[in-house]
Amino acid sequence: MLSSVPRARHRYLDVDGVRVFYRESVPAREDAPVLLLLHGFPSASHQFRRLIDALGTQYRLIAPDYPGFGYTEAPAGFRYSFDRLADITEGFVQQLGLDRFVMYVFDFGAPVGFRLAERHPEWIAGLITQNGNAYEDGLSDAARGLLTLTPEAPGAEESVRGFLTLDGTRMQYETGVADTELISPDGWTLDQHFLDLPGRKEAQLALFFDYHTNIESYPRWQAWLRDHTPPTLITWGRNDPFFTEPGARAYLRDLPDAELHLPDTGHFALDTHLPEIAPLIAGFLDRAWK
């Protein structure tokens, strides 16, 4: 019985002066399909713990923490931008020797992941997007208001800092969820622990003020999707208060063969719908890897 329990490694890897923490499952097969899990805000690789437990014996799941998130340690003076998060993630992938994987993008993971895809289209065997937005259709008014702020705008820093509180973090987990008792408080509590570490709120401020570069990149990423047509699975919490259902459906304009699922939940869909989503991911990995 114990042999069926998935094993997971928890390691650090030095990438360009950053000590990157990551989780990696140890599947039974050495040639198992690889899934790179790119987390969102305000979370880290811990958001994928249950998914790793569910699929880790069959597939190689790898989930790094970005600089400014989770257990990853960035040096003083690190410049926080989405380009730099992608630089570190790119170096991480290269150091692991990965040359082909299915990419799972969620929230902030979408701008990190699409930068990787632009730089290395040959790496991408398939795409899973779970509330990972790449279309203006998917920006709610609340998201647009926060993600287009500039440092010089009156009250901008106060608006972002107000979002980095325990109430703001918990709200992201619970909004749009029919039964909030399905969500463990461990998620938002651990997220807030990391947000409250020295320097972390300043890192998030820099990333929020850099987010406009992602919105400006949407047309380029959409062109990449049309040009490369990766096999794509869309599993999107349809009640997400930030990245809304139209953002999920917009992918079908450029990827008409994509598989679309819209569970009746909020931003952190895996927290409430893992039993439904995990089999979809497993089936997709098997098809895309071939």
Question: What positions carry a catalytic annotation?
Answer: 267
What residues have CB less than 8 Å from 44, skipping those under 6 apart?
Answer: 65, 66, 69, 70, 71, 72, 190, 191, 194
* 3-state SS assignment for residue 210: helix
Neighbour order of strands in the sheet with 259-261: 7-15, 18-26, 60-64, 34-38, 101-105, 124-129, 232-235, 259-261
Structure tokens at 95: 């150091």
CA 30 to chain centre: 25
Instruction: Sort strands 18-26 and 60-64 into parallel, antiparallel or unpaired.
Output: antiparallel
Structure tokens at 112: 């990190």
**What region, left, alpha or beta, does residue 176 occupy, with left being phi > 0 and alpha being psi -120 to 50 degrees?**
left
- What is the DSSP secondary structure assignment for residue 59, as one 8-state letter? S
* Stated length of the chain: 290
The Cα 162–Cα 67 span in angstroms is: 21
What are the counts of helices (DSSP H) followed by strands (DSSP E) for the chain?
11, 8
- What is the DSSP secondary structure assignment for residue 69, as one 8-state letter? S
Residue 108 and residue 146 in contact, taking contact as beta carbons nearer than 8 Å: no
What residues have CB less than 8 Å from 267, skipping those under 6 apart?
Answer: 40, 107, 131, 172, 173, 175, 176, 237, 240, 241, 242, 243
